Structure 1
Amino acid sequence: MSTEDVTSHAELKRSINEISENGVDEQPKKQQKVSPPSHDGIAYIKAEFLKPVENGRDSLANDFMNNADDDEGSSERLADGCVGGGNQKGKKRGKKNKGQNKDREVSNFKEACQLCPKYKFGAITESEGPCPFVESCKFCHDVDKYISLKLPEIESKFFDKCPIYETSGFCPMGVKCKFLKSHWDSDLKKLSFNPDEAVKNYDRGVINLLSYESKQLLSRKNNYPFEDSNKMIEIQEAFQQDYLEKHRSKQGTEDEKKLDAKLKDKRDHLKEIFQREKKNLDYRRKYILAPLTTVGNLPYRRLMKKLGCDITYSEMALCKPLMESHPSEWALAQAHKSEVPGFAFQIAGNQPWLVSKTCEAINKLLGTNEQKHFTEINLNIGCPIPLVFNSGAGSSLMDAPSKLIRMLNAMSYCAGDIPVTAKIRMGVKTDVPTANQLVKRLVNETDVQAITLHGRSREQRYTKLADWKYIQECAVEAKKVEAEYKSEMDGKIEDGTARSYNLQFIGNGDLYDARDWHKYLGECPELDSISIGRGCLIKPWIFEEIEHGDNIDKSSSERLDILADYARFSMEHFGTDERGILQARRFFCEFMSFFHRYIPIGILEKQNKLNERPSSFFGRNDLETLLSSPDSEDWIKVSEMFFVFQIS
């Protein structure tokens, strides 16, 4: 190799290093087509699919190390919901705009002519009744005028009819539907269905709805009698006070060890008294979708169930706004009927009284005793978001194990027969992993039926890959401690005063290759299953790959069909009126921000990892190129294939 070639190669390598760190190359070079050199964090694309270098910059198309953890996201509701008895001082500060879109104006879209809800079916109906405000109503009562001023309807090759009407023969949006021509007789000027009859048989398929009466009970302070929670917290506080007084008086004496043994016996006795019969969990080799904030909404979970998922988790709900009866927070408990059985509700809180009252409300106010739609209630002890962490919830509980144990025991008692589980991280600090010791205490001192361990510390975030060796070590230790516990409690298990279920230990973090699922579980039989987060967003068909035993090269048309299903489920959930379509498009683009990161197997030199980013590339056809584009304008183009919406 000549000196000139060596220099050129060195410059190219320096250029890629600078781009990956800074996103800018200071010295432009001539346009040329090159194959990227071997470099950590870079996916290997076949040379014939690489886009030409422009202005010396071989841009890295996708940021795989970006902003979505398996249980976090950028939801603004966290700012108001995580405070409540934690570490934060109560000073209010002005809201500071952050992120790439901080200069964008956020406006609330309104129709030019807003129709009165009482007239959404074209005329006064028995189900809606007359408008109580009559002439003083600020909304339009003229249906013909409203229809004439409506924005253009959606025309899509995927949806030539209203997806809700096509499925159920009824559209709850009535004349506000963006597919109105599919169920509107223009000659008779009436809907093609009888609203009064159709509404009685209409089933949205959504479960876990909080009734109006229950909302009123929770929204009024001290109106709902939290009997189980108050009883449990009173006993816990009395025991804690007793422990502090006696331990302080005996501290440093020879009687300290004897006292600790007595207190342990008393604690075990309390556990026996408050032991409740629970449904058993069996997650052995089940396909589990990890909790996902913002993108893990109901339409997405419904899509994943269709694609082979066994267990789904809600988005993380904060206990404080749940107890304040915030509708947006209780909406996170909603699930589609296809998710049952196998739907878990994840919550986050920072105090025993708060999480116990939340569990009691979930147990008693959502569904009857004969019809519980929750497989488990999961406490998020792994959330790294600063707002949650600083309030004393999430991963900050990793450093407060005694408080955490009180929280989990209170939850277990107040949740009735619904199992309580926990999601944890390796620890808070990278060089001080604490999960191993915490797992031992959780097995011995709580009734959690499942523990999910995310293989990173809070400090790491996405700077390192998940540590699967450590996850496997913790799984082995957990099953060992459980075996010892059952050996000691043999007699009590038989008479029902000690738990009889088998602990489920689940690993989590960076799983993207289907072969790794079989590899990790094969190496560690103690590991019951693996939950997948970002891998499911990028490859929603990943459970099909796991079932197949290898990665599948999905064509662009197959991927587009998956997006069509997601669009249909979104419209069925959010509605087909203009507001509903806006919501559906918003979450569609959120989904596309991950979905586009998939690199087709056919253009890879070797299988990429989750954190590896490709240089800009062409797909094998125009559609594949479009679906792989990191440009948000292209995501909008894709969304327009399903719902075109214009705002004048």
Structure 2
Amino acid sequence: MEKPAEETAVAKVTEAAVKGEAALKPEFITSKEKFHEFLDSHCPKGGENKVTEEHSGEPETKKVKLDTEDVNKGAKVDGKRLRGQNKSRPHKKPTTYDEKRLCASVIQGNKQCPYGDKCHFYHDVATYLANKPADIGERCHVYDTFGKCAYGLSCRFAKAHTTAELKSAENADVVKIYEGRTPVRNSLSKELQNRLRKHAVDFDKSAEYLKTLNNNKDKKEQQGNGAADLPAEQTTQSKCESTDSETLGSSEKSSTVKTVGALTDVDVIKLRACEKKQVDFRDKLYLAPLTTCGNLPFRRVCKRLGADITCGEMAMCTNLLQGQQSEWALLKRHESEDLFGVQVEGCFPDTMTRCAELINNNTEVDFVDINSGCPIDLVYKKGGGCGLMTRTRKFEQIVRGMNYVLDVPLTVKIRTGVHEKNNIAHKLIPEMKNWGVSMITLHGRSREQRYTKLADWDYITACSKLASPIPLFGNGDILSYEDAMRAKETGVSGIMIARGALVKPWLFTEIKESRHWDISSAERLDILRDFSNYGLEHWGSDTRGVEKTRTFMLEWLSFMCRYIPVGLLERVPVKINERPPYYMGRNHLESLMASQNVGDWIRISEMLLGPVPPNFNFLPKHKANSYK
């Protein structure tokens, strides 16, 4: 006897749950061959990529050429298939898409190039324009937003702001709005970069702390008194700190420093650590510091969609101290980020303390975070990241030193431990309270687990009780508002969202509105369009800026393709470790966005940033998320 349709559907859902697949409605499920046959019939490779209003709900887009022959070069090295870790990526020189660029002296309207005959770039505008790639669109987002475009004729939207005399136009009314404003802060100045390279930057407070640390190195630490590790100046804070629940835990036996002459306001400000800037972390949604994908344009997207706290990508303290421009770019902050911190990684008290003082004196941040949860070998084997959790003496010296030189709160991100069956976070958390940490984030997995097992929220619950009254944020496997509600019931002070934000950045909106957003493919394309516009603002609207924006968009799409539209699901919500079977979307664009093929991600980028250059090559960092 044939089973009723309802029973069959339930059986399929149960079977999918066992397999680790998301349960989709049967009418949308298809095979791999049919899926790609459908996409190729609408966007044939090497032909024209055309999305019509009929398929996507969007107006017909400009026809663009698709060239993906070199997309997955490097997918195998020496006959071995690469895996999803960064160590397996082939190291190649950056691809140059515009070998001969227009000289900056011509763009800026300077009369003479400072390099003279030695300059390798074009000075003749007519010659440059004859070799320049075609414009991408009719309007320039940078010009429309700021009233002028710093890239002038080299802009890939130059027709929108080029006069008949081949000069870049300005909209005086819009320019006036931004006069005196700095939308992006924390840039590295040339003057500071030169001083860092010449080792001419003074680290006075760090020197005080490190001198005392060295003097007391051989002394046995007195039980219950951490003041032996602090400079004499800091011991005068004991009376202030004894009334503060977030104390350094070293005030009971501290001595008083005798002063000569009047005690000025400046001295008082220096001495009172309890008057540091206060930040209310509780009951907020925290966008995790995401390496590669957590760039400024992506954070702006998440901020617009409801994120409360944002944090820059992990920066290496030694690179910051050397004045590396690429590392300082990770500290940049947009004016829309009202609660913003930076995350640093290091394994020695001297470099981490100096780095904290450098950040404190030269950037605008609301907090500084120590990364003691990074699992990658490059960091761990040097003693940083998760390695700090097993080096408690060094960890304490780093926390106390950074706390001493900072005027803003110091936070820490940790994992449950290093080994899967040996959790140690519960032992560290009470200690960190005494060291002066203002907030702790706990990722519910060990270093060994990486992302292969579900986060242990029972353990996070136990640790949140140990952390009180310091806020403890939980992190791991949040992909729906139900996940967030269950997390809040564990007693954590807030939630950090990482992969969930990459898969669906509108998750912040869902959590705040307690609903599932059955977002359309057109709305998702609009979010990507916002990202591309923010990218052009941040990285530039010339060829280099466009291709950098495209590369970071493709890295993001390697996660975003995992999203399964709510309207296609038999069972809501989907779990973060459930993968979809091959399925057809409700329109062509939705199907295209479901593809995990790198070539299809490139097709999406071409809708927003024009055709890729002939020598374009892209291999995602997370290779496990794509196939050739």
Superposition TM-score, scaled by structure 2 size: 0.78
Cα distance between partner residues in 2 of 1:410 and 1:104: 36
**Distance verdict in 2 for CA 1:264–1:447, change over 3 Å:** closer
**Distance verdict in 2 for CA 1:151–1:266, change over 3 Å:** closer
Q: Which residue of 1 aligns with 2:552?
A: 587
Is residue 153 from structure 1 mapped to residue 135 from structure 2 by the alignment? yes
Cα displacement (A) at 1:620: 1.1
Amino acid at match of 1:188: E
Local SS of the residue matching 2:413: strand
Local SS of the residue matching 2:474: strand
Cα distance between partner residues in 2 of 1:52 and 1:592: 22
Q: Which residue of 1 aligns with 2:472?
A: 505
Indicate if the aligned counterparts of 2:373 and 2:447 stay in contact, CA closer than 8 A: yes
**Distance verdict in 2 for CA 1:376–1:134, change over 3 Å:** same
Q: Which residue of 2 aligns with 1:165?
A: 143
Q: Which residue of 2 aligns with 1:521?
A: 488
Cα displacement (A) at 1:104: 9.1
Is residue 406 from structure 1 mapped to residue 383 from structure 2 by the alignment? no
Query: Which residue, out of 492, 499, 503, partners 1:538?
Result: 503
Amino acid at match of 1:583: K
**Distance verdict in 2 for CA 1:333–1:184, change over 3 Å:** same
Query: Which residue, out of 21, 25, 44, partners 1:42?
Result: 21
Query: Which residue, out of 375, 386, 396, partners 2:366?
Result: 375
Is residue 429 from structure 1 mapped to residue 416 from structure 2 by the alignment? no
Amino acid at match of 1:544: T
Q: Which residue of 1 aligns with 2:352?
A: 355
Cα distance between partner residues in 1 of 2:296 and 2:510: 23
Indicate if the aligned counterparts of 2:306 and 2:512 stay in contact, CA closer than 8 A: no
Amino acid at match of 1:610: I
Indicate if the aligned counterparts of 2:308 and 2:339 stay in contact, CA closer than 8 A: yes
Query: Which residue, out of 482, 491, 512, partners 1:547?
Result: 512
Cα displacement (A) at 1:520: 2.0
Is residue 647 from structure 1 mapped to residue 613 from structure 2 by the alignment? yes
Indicate if the aligned counterparts of 1:281 and 1:504 stay in contact, CA closer than 8 A: no
Give the superposed CA RMSD: 2.9
Q: Which residue of 2 aligns with 1:464?
A: 453
Task: Write out per-residue CA displacement over residues 169-209 of structure 1, whole angstroms, 9 at most, x where no aligned residue.
Answer: 10010100000110112x333322389x9699486611011
Matches within 5 A, 1:94-133: 99=83, 106-111=93-98, 113-121=100-108, 125=109, 128-133=110-115
Cα displacement (A) at 1:103: 6.8
Indicate if the aligned counterparts of 1:35 and 1:45 stay in contact, CA closer than 8 A: no
Cα displacement (A) at 1:165: 0.2
Local SS of the residue matching 2:444: strand
Cα displacement (A) at 1:233: 1.1
**Distance verdict in 2 for CA 1:432–1:113, change over 3 Å:** closer
Cα distance between partner residues in 2 of 1:141 and 1:590: 35
Is residue 449 from structure 1 mapped to residue 410 from structure 2 by the alignment? no
**Distance verdict in 2 for CA 1:232–1:603, change over 3 Å:** same
Amino acid at match of 2:217: Q
Q: Which residue of 2 aligns with 1:573?
A: 538
**Distance verdict in 2 for CA 1:513–1:507, change over 3 Å:** same
Cα displacement (A) at 1:647: 3.0
Is residue 342 from structure 1 mapped to residue 342 from structure 2 by the alignment? no
Q: Which residue of 1 aligns with 2:5?
A: none
Task: Write out per-residue CA displacement over residues 74-129 of structure 1, whole angstroms, 9 at most, x where no aligned residue.
Answer: xxxxxxxxxxxxxxxxxxxxxx99658867965531425432110015xxx3xx45
Is residue 365 from structure 1 mapped to residue 354 from structure 2 by the alignment? no
**Distance verdict in 2 for CA 1:556–1:116, change over 3 Å:** same
Indicate if the aligned counterparts of 2:152 and 2:167 stay in contact, CA closer than 8 A: no
Cα distance between partner residues in 1 of 2:181 and 2:570: 48
Q: Which residue of 1 aligns with 2:201?
A: 224
Cα displacement (A) at 1:523: 3.8
Task: Write out per-residue CA displacement over residues 552-574 of structure 1, whole angstroms, 9 at most, x where no aligned residue.
Answer: 11111111111111111111111
Task: Write out per-residue CA displacement over residues 115-173 of structure 1, whole angstroms, 9 at most, x where no aligned residue.
Answer: 2110015xxx3xx4521233443322111111121111103xxxx31100011110010
Superposition TM-score, scaled by structure 1 size: 0.76
Local SS of the residue matching 2:217: helix
Query: Which residue, out of 462, 466, 469, partners 1:477?
Result: 466
Once the two structures are overlaid, the 10-residue window that deviates more, 131-140 or 608-617, is: 131-140
Q: Which residue of 1 aligns with 2:116?
A: 134
Aligned length: 521
Can you give the 5+ residue segments of structure 2 that lack an aligned partner in the other structure? Answer: 3-7, 37-79, 238-271, 615-628
Cα displacement (A) at 1:273: 3.7
Task: Write out per-residue CA displacement over residues 461-509 of structure 1, whole angstroms, 9 at most, x where no aligned residue.
Answer: 1221000110011001111xx4xxxxxxxxxxxxxxxxxxxx2211111
Task: Write out per-residue CA displacement over residues 558-608 of structure 1, whole angstroms, 9 at most, x where no aligned residue.
Answer: 111111111111111111101111101101101111111100111111121
**Distance verdict in 2 for CA 1:349–1:38, change over 3 Å:** closer
Indicate if the aligned counterparts of 1:282 and 1:504 stay in contact, CA closer than 8 A: no
Amino acid at match of 1:358: C
Q: Which residue of 1 aligns with 2:62?
A: none
Indicate if the aligned counterparts of 1:291 and 1:315 stay in contact, CA closer than 8 A: yes
Matches within 5 A, 1:236-251: 236-243=213-220
Matches within 5 A, 1:276-425: 276=273, 277-339=275-337, 341-366=338-363, 373-415=364-406, 417-425=407-415
Query: Which residue, out of 550, 555, 570, partners 1:605?
Result: 570
Amino acid at match of 2:132: K
Task: Write out per-residue CA displacement over residues 523-574 of structure 1, whole angstroms, 9 at most, x where no aligned residue.
Answer: 42xx110010010111111111011112211111111111111111111111
Can you give the 5+ residue segments of structure 1 that lack an aligned partner in the other structure? Answer: 3-8, 14-32, 58-95, 245-259, 367-372, 483-502
**Distance verdict in 2 for CA 1:538–1:102, change over 3 Å:** closer
Amino acid at match of 2:472: F
**Distance verdict in 2 for CA 1:636–1:438, change over 3 Å:** same
Cα distance between partner residues in 2 of 1:294 and 1:188: 41
Indicate if the aligned counterparts of 1:352 and 1:406 stay in contact, CA closer than 8 A: yes
Local SS of the residue matching 1:48: helix
Cα distance between partner residues in 2 of 1:322 and 1:570: 23
Cα distance between partner residues in 1 of 2:558 and 2:148: 33
Amino acid at match of 2:579: R
Cα distance between partner residues in 1 of 2:569 and 2:99: 50
Indicate if the aligned counterparts of 2:212 and 2:230 stay in contact, CA closer than 8 A: no
Matches within 5 A, 1:209-220: 209-220=187-198
Indicate if the aligned counterparts of 1:178 and 1:578 stay in contact, CA closer than 8 A: yes
Indicate if the aligned counterparts of 1:307 and 1:541 stay in contact, CA closer than 8 A: yes
Cα distance between partner residues in 2 of 1:171 and 1:202: 17
Q: Which residue of 1 aligns with 2:160?
A: 182
Cα distance between partner residues in 2 of 1:181 and 1:265: 65
Cα displacement (A) at 1:38: 4.1
Local SS of the residue matching 1:557: helix
Indicate if the aligned counterparts of 1:229 and 1:410 stay in contact, CA closer than 8 A: yes
Local SS of the residue matching 2:398: helix
